[in-house]
A = this chain, B = another copy of it.
Amino acid sequence: MRLRQLECFRALMLHGTMTRAAELLGMSQPGISTMIAGLEHETGLNLFVRRGGRLQPTPEAKLFYVEAARALEAAENASRVAAEIRSGRRGHLAIAAYPSISINLLPRLLSQFAKNKPELQIKIITRNSATVRELISTQQFDLAVAELPLDYPTSHMEVFSYDCMCMLPHAHPLAKLKQITPDDLDGVPFVTLFRGDPIYQQLASAFSEYGARWNVVAETEFFSTACQLVTEGRGVGIVDPVVSKPFTEGLVVRPFKPRIQYQIAILSPTHEAPSQVAQDFAGLLRRGLRA
């Protein structure tokens, strides 16, 4: 039994004559005729009686029609779903991400991506980078974004490196400088990430290298929290220039020397190829992280 046969059968049932059914399907009348003959032969049913040069559906045809129409609809539905999957309108996109990026950048990009994709199911889970790393390896997520370094590396990892910038309150005296060094910040109240963070380590080295006194007045877990403290005037600090950009509105941001490197990565599942949707979104995310 072929779908084309069912299609012809349905058109014939709905329109009464082969001629009209043929027009509707954009094919010739003899095409319908042989198609129906084939269907009758294969099913062993007499679907139509030839009566007065016309076709009249038998009771069997009416019974069979119900099932035939159902099968056709299911096939057409499958076709439609295929198109939806292809265009990314259907599917799911589960993303695990570390906090700073999932506060602003990620949801912004995601909602942009999900426009005109009504059937796309989106899930964002926010965990610290180590947990994100675990989650992606359990294959439960399509994509993950984590800060580096990871305790042990994952395959399919796309790294983005940023040189951190120094952020200062608008009215800060150092705001007039084009570039900030540890010398400029000697003894200046400073907001930093926690002691365990690579950023902390790098800053400590930088200040010691320059022989400047690093006056840490606050330690935070996230850049976003640090930004808020700086905004409140508690001190100065450093941030990455992209992910944390939304939090530095109203602050002055200047290049910092020496380079304090902040690295994040897009992680993909290892054992399974990522879905097309995930790849597409990864592309958008990549552009967003490069900007």
Give the interface of A toward B (CB within 8 A).
1-3, 6, 43-46, 49, 51, 56, 58-60, 63-64, 67-68, 70-71, 73-75, 77-79, 81-83, 85-86, 90-91, 142, 272-278
Contacts and interface: CB of A to CB of B under 8 A. Distances in A.
A71 B78 contact: yes
A56 B75 CA distance: 24
A59 B273 CA distance: 8
Contacts of A49: 273
Contacts of A51: 273
A177 B83 CA distance: 87
The interface residues of chain A, by DSSP majority, are classed as: helix
Given A74-B71, A86-B45, A273-B49, A81 B63 contact: yes
Contacts of A67: 74, 77-78, 81-82
Given A3-B2, A71-B71, A63 B45 contact: no
A70 B73 CA distance: 10
Nearest to A66: B81
A64 B91 contact: no
A44 B1 CA distance: 25
A74 B142 CA distance: 32
A60 B3 contact: no
Given A46-B276, A86-B45, A142-B59, A64 B79 contact: no
Given A63-B85, A63-B91, 5 more contacts: A1-B79, A3-B75, A51-B273, A64-B78, A71-B74
Contacts of A63: 81, 85, 90-91
A81 B64 contact: yes
Given A74-B71, A77-B71, A82 B59 contact: no
Nearest to A84: B63
Given A1-B3, A43-B82, A82-B64, A70 B74 contact: yes
Contacts of A77: 67, 70-71
Most buried by B among A45, A59, A91: A59
